[in-house]
Amino acid sequence: MCPVMPSDHEYVLLEKTISILEDHILCDRCLGRLFAWLSTATTNTKRGGSLKLVLSMMAGREVKTGRREVGTRLIRCLAENGLSEEARALAVKESIDFDPSGECEICSIDGTSIFDRMPAIAARALEAANDVEYDTLLVGSVPINRMAEREEEIRGKFNLLYGEPLKSEFNRALGKEILDITGKTTDFEHPDIVFVYNMEKDEISLQINPIFIYGRYRKLQRGIPQSRWDCSECGGKGCESCNGTGRRYPDSISEYVGDPLQEMVKGTRYKFHAAGREDVDALMVGAGRPFVLEVSEPRVRRPDLAEATQKINERSKGKIEVQGLEMTERERAQTLKAESSENIKEYRAIITIDEEVPEKALKRAESALSETTIHQRTPNRVSHRRSDRIREKRIYEVRLSKIDKETLEGHFRVQGGTYIKELISGDEGRTKPSIGEILGVNAVCKELNVTAIHSLDAHHNA
């Protein structure tokens, strides 16, 4: 006997199909989708059509071999509820009357299948993305509740646990339609754009995912905050104290970097993520501070970064400077922020003291502070925006030298997030120990430069 002769299983399958079609009107595709787990190398439409075809052949044989009543009933069922062309042709041939007006209970809207809208939807999607640069995409949809509910109901009733939901087939089919036209690829993790089709409203929406640009900035002029700083009196509306500008500072690093890039990629807004921030009055020199600029809804995804660098540096000449721009991923922005309080930073400070101290005392302060852990309570000057708590910070190295009787130069290598000004002054006892405390003088940070940021990001040490 042929080993692939139908087993009991297959007969159960055919019986089940008959039971389903006795109760429900289903097109080939929606019937086939209920049995999507049966084989993979075919489509749902073929799978459903094949089941109906086999049943039509069986019904035809019944009609011819005597059990005419059984055969007639099955042919009518397939012709009416199965919407089967073969069964309908057979019915006409055998003079079996049937009602041809039925439509699929799951996928039909106003007489046509939602799947028949596919070419039109694809065309509209491409129209929406007409002036958008992208390589990868993803397709999603919002199904009509009734469709999903009906499908669930049938699967439950006939114990078909592994069928494919309509939404999933729809997304796959629409995706394929669009990919075939555009030659682009699908990306489930980080698609450049996402199309979402709302079946109820018959609307397609386009979501353009952000791009991320990594780089390092140097700040060459004091008095520039990292992010836009609105006037605290008026909250940005404009008042007397800010001369109507609405701002406490006229410019910011994020704007110097973000404005030209947003313009170049035709985005709608941006966010500036950085590995910490320096004080407004501190410079950022050396190789610069790592940042990631996130630009939302860019219509250009592959900007010329050499040109961008030039544009930014020209516009902010003498104020800030960027280098090492490269395209990156969202994760980089997150690690950048997360590691900022862990990495090692270097500073140079000019310190004024109110009493001359001997060289020996400087050496003593150096060794007392190097390779130690200090305790910093949130400084007075930032207590309005930071929670008041005590932070432990690692100090790796402090070097002090005299410029004149009242001026010292200090070099610091410390854990990210250390408040250097307070490490110098002691901040009325809030930072312990401090240079002022050890030297027994009033010490004030006059000028501060960040000279190096050692990123933990192994691939991008600079």
Q: Which residues bind Zn ion (CB under 5 A)?
A: 27, 30, 104, 106-107, 231, 233-234, 239, 242
Positive or negative, the Cα torsion across 437, 441, 444, 449?
negative
CB of 243 to Zn ion, least distance (A): 8
Cβ closer to Zn ion: 83 or 439?
A: 83
Cβ closer to Zn ion: 79 or 231?
A: 231
CB of 231 to Zn ion, least distance (A): 3
DSSP-derived letter for residue 163 is P
CB of 108 to Zn ion, least distance (A): 6
CB-CB neighbours of 100 under 10 Å: 9
Identity (one letter) of the amino acid at 168?
A: S
What is the rounded distance in angstroms from the CA atom of residue 45 to the CA atom of residue 178?
20
CB of 49 to Zn ion, least distance (A): 12
CB-CB neighbours of 422 under 10 Å: 24
CB-CB neighbours of 234 under 10 Å: 16
Cβ closer to Zn ion: 233 or 457?
A: 233
Cβ closer to Zn ion: 242 or 400?
A: 242
136: Cα within 13 Å, side-chain hemisphere: 10
Residues designated catalytic: 279
CB of 146 to Zn ion, least distance (A): 13
Identity (one letter) of the amino acid at 81?
A: N
Listing DSSP states for 389-436 in one string gives: -EEEEEEEEEEEEEEETTEEEEEEEEETT--HHHHHH-TTTTEES-HH
Cβ closer to Zn ion: 83 or 253?
A: 83
CB of 48 to Zn ion, least distance (A): 9
The answer for residues whose C-beta is within 8 angstroms of residue 397's C-beta and 6 or more apart is: 370, 371, 411, 412, 413
Cβ closer to Zn ion: 231 or 320?
A: 231
The answer for residues whose C-beta is within 8 angstroms of residue 410's C-beta and 6 or more apart is: 347, 348, 349, 350, 351, 398, 399, 400, 424, 435
